[in-house]
A and B are shown apart, each in its own frame.
Chain A
Amino acid sequence: MTNSFLDSISKQLHDANDSLACTIEEQDYSYQSFAAKVAGIQSKVQRTGSMNIGIVTQNSMETYAAIIACWLTGKAYVPINPGYPVERIKDILQTSEISTLFYAQEDEQVNTLQTALGDIGFVETASLYGQECFNTFPAGDKTAYILFTSGTTGRPKGVPITFGNLQSFLDGFDALGYEIDKADRFLQMFELTFDLSIVSFTRPLMDGASFHTLPSGMIKTLALYQVLEENEITMSLMVPSAIGLLMPYMEDIHLPKLRYSQFCGEALKADVLQRWSQCVPNARIDNVYGPTEATIYCTALQANKPMEQQHNGIVGIGAPMKEVEICILDEQNQTIETADQIGELCLHGKQVTAGYLQNEMQNQVAFVNMDRRQFYRTGDLVFKGQDGLLYYVGRKDDQVKIQGYRVELGEIESAASKLAPNNPAVAVGYTQEDGQWHLALFVQDNPVAENEMMQALKKTLPAYMLPKRIYTIDQFPLNQNGKTDRKALRLIAQQNHS
């Protein structure tokens, strides 16, 4: 099986001219300069022994060129956020058997990593240039990237996505009817450990279009608005919270150049979308949904009439994409056939990963076989409406989403119990009036001072997983079933939120 998306990118790089490939940190890069960078990095990637390459997620043209260089060479990339705790990075490198990290340029964080990871090779890409890149036509079952998501056991889970999975996603993307050409300008607002970044830079490169990242050193929400307007973005994929924060200033926003406005990663509020639709008078608006395990996103809803396509104020998530099959399971694992009945959304098809990396235990839990087909259990509760479309209701388990990242509360509790092994810890996610999610951690008779525990957690958990506040509690409230009453804890956190 060939990957036509890589052929398309390869052709664009081969025919490279001075047309715009990307804008990063407010600097423009042509296809010519991008292609020369890919070619230079590719020769280094080729000489690297392992099949998986770590790439430090710096906001640089070199970082994106390194990803494309890995793919054209038939290797997988694993994004490494240098701001993550060293222990977490070590775990990721070990699980994905990475021996080399590519980085764009030295900075304080890279220097810290170099000191901490003595047995890992580091390759700087700033000075690498080459003549011609080449496509090795990787097979569809080879891994294209591995992303790590929050895991209940306290260890992150590696999700390997193959070239075939990614190709199926891109086929599904085009089947949604987006007509992309070289004049299109894509927004790329995501950190590279987040898979929504992948479509934001891959799809434009297939057609000689451009992608535009947010400048660092600016308040992110304001940088987002600036890039949308000044870079005349025509295709944007955003998390809903990004525009939620701009609500008080909606009357100042007018983006007539935007053709496609997609939302993903969090529940999308119908009233926010209604207001947004007035800012983007010429845009088709889509709400898309999907877990990392099913490659970027896998259901879509054209949502230009949000008030008619919502449930409890949350916009629906539409229908499965071309290569995706779904089923909704009840608590007895029976398929739900009737409309309006809530159950767990399960996914099958060419977009869905075969399983977690080196984690058989998790695979047993997360996948279910039906009619000799393997379905991924999303843990998301949905129902199919009378209109035949899917509506998101909530999380089946205790996972919550913070800034679009999936957080399993068990991972935070596990980190806390390492610091106070004899004191039960419960983490809860709660929302505020603005719809933002926050985390709170409750520890029974906590022997560790709250600020000390917070400092210690910072060493093992990424910033988005840190609780807003740690509470010491005499005894956990119990519900009627004698279980810890998480609702009561959420209420305490909400009332004491500041």
Chain B
Amino acid sequence: METNIIREKLSGIFNQVFQCGAIEITDTLTADQVEKWDSLTHLTMIAEVESAFGIRFKLKELTGMKNTGDLVGLVQEKTANLG
């Protein structure tokens, strides 16, 4: 899947979960930069991403995720494997 499509979908999910308004999904975006991004909303967001893309993350992948760029990369990798 093209990264711009992934980013667009993520932007909608971020807006819905973090109530942050329209937000640009840059590679360096992290929880520190978004007010309502905490443990609870992070795991809610991850569940939404899994459902929207029909994929499933492993816990190890979640702990290794340092920023939104890592999330985009993982989504791309997993959707490619879907075939």
Q: Mark B48-68, 1 if CB is under 8 A from A, else 0.
A: 000000000011101100000
- Stretch in contact with the other chain, from B7-15, B39-47, B72-80: B39-47
With a CB–CB cut-off of 8 A, which chain A residues contact B19? 498
User: A219-B31, A245-B43 are contacts. A226–B38 as well, Cβ < 8 Å?
Assistant: no
Task: Judge whether B2 is part of the interface by a CB distance below 8 angstroms.
Answer: no
For the complex, give the distance between the alpha carbons of A246 and B31 in Å. Answer: 18
Tally the A-B contacts, defined by beta carbons under 8 Å: 36
Q: Are A220 and B38 in contact (CB under 8 A)?
A: yes
The residues in A between 205 and 264 inclusive whose CB is less than 8 angstroms from any CB of B are: 217-223, 225-226, 245-246, 248-249, 252-253
Is B32 in contact with A217, judged by CB distance below 8 angstroms? Answer: yes
Contacts of B43 in A (CB 8 A): 219, 221, 245, 248
Residues B63 and A436 in contact, CB atoms below 8 Å apart: no
From B38, B40, B60, B62, residue with most partner A Cβ within 10 Å: B40
When A217-B32, A219-B31 are in contact, do A436 and B40 touch as well, CB less than 8 Å?
yes
Chain A, interface size category, equals 10 to 19
Q: Is there contact, CB below 8 Å, between A248 and B40?
A: no
Kindly state the separation between the CA atoms of A225 and B60 in the bound complex, as whole angstroms: 9
Residue from B32, B40, B47, B63 in contact with A222 in the complex, judged by beta carbons closer than 8 Å: B63
**A225 contacts B63, CB within 8 Å?**
yes
Of B39, B58, B60, the residue contacting A221 (CB under 8 A) is B39
Taking CB atoms, residues of chain A closer than 8 Å to B32 are 217
Are A252 and B58 closer than 8 Å at their CB atoms? Answer: yes
Known A-B contacts A222-B63, A225-B63; the reply to A248 vs B39 at CB < 8 A is: no
C-alpha spacing A337/B16, complex, angstroms? 52
Query: B38 contacts A246, CB within 8 Å?
Result: no
Contacts of B60 in A (CB 8 A): 252
A271 CB → nearest B CB, Å: 18
Q: Which residues of B contact A222 (CB under 8 A)?
A: 39, 42, 59, 62-63
* CB closest chain-B residue, reference A253: B59
Is there contact, CB below 8 Å, between A246 and B59? Answer: yes
Chain B hits for A436, CB < 8 A: 40
Chain A residue, CB-CB nearest to B31: A219
Contact present for A226 and B39 (CB under 8 Å)? no
> Which residues of the other chain, B, contact A226 by a CB distance below 8 angstroms?
63
Which residues of B are found within 8 Å of A218, using beta-carbon distances?
63
In the bound complex, CA of A220 to CA of B32 (Å): 12
Q: Are B31 and A252 in contact (CB under 8 A)?
A: no
Chain A residues positioned under 8 Å from B62 (CB to CB):
222, 249
Q: How far is the CB of B70 from chain A (nearest CB, A)?
A: 12
Residue ID in chain B nearest A436 by CB atoms: B40
Smallest CB separation, B58 vs chain A (Å): 6
Shortest distance from the beta carbon of B59 to any chain A beta carbon, whole Å: 4
Bound state CA distance, A182 and B74, in angstroms? 40
Closest CB of chain B to A497's CB: distance in Å?
12
Chain B's closest residue to A251 (CB) is B59
Which A residues are CB-close (under 8 A) to B40? 245, 436
Q: Inside 8 A of A225's CB, which chain B residues have their CB?
A: 59, 63
A436–B39 CA distance with the chains assembled, in angstroms: 12
Q: Check A219–B38 contact: CB distance below 8 A.
A: yes
Once bound together, how far apart are the Cα atoms of A246 and B43, in whole Å? 8
Cβ < 8 Å to B, chain A residues 445-498: 498
- Does B47 contact A248, Cβ atoms closer than 8 Å? yes
- Residue interface mask A398-442, B partner, CB < 8 A = 1: 000000000000000000000000000000000000001000000
Closest to A247 in B: B43
- Residue from A246, A248, A253, A498 with most neighbouring chain B CB atoms (10 Å): A248
Which B positions have Cβ atoms within 8 angstroms of A?
19, 31-32, 38-40, 42-43, 47, 58-60, 62-63
12 A-B pairs in the complex with CB atoms less than 8 angstroms apart: A219-B31, A219-B42, A220-B39, A221-B39, A221-B42, A222-B42, A245-B40, A246-B59, A252-B58, A252-B60, A253-B59, A436-B40
19 new A-B contacts, CB < 8 A, other than A219-B31, A222-B42, are: A219-B42, A219-B43, A220-B38, A220-B39, A222-B39, A222-B63, A223-B63, A225-B59, A226-B63, A245-B39, A245-B40, A249-B59, A249-B62, A252-B58, A252-B59, A252-B60, A253-B59, A436-B40, A498-B19
Shortest Cβ-Cβ A-B pairs, 4 listed: A252-B59, A221-B39, A249-B59, A219-B42
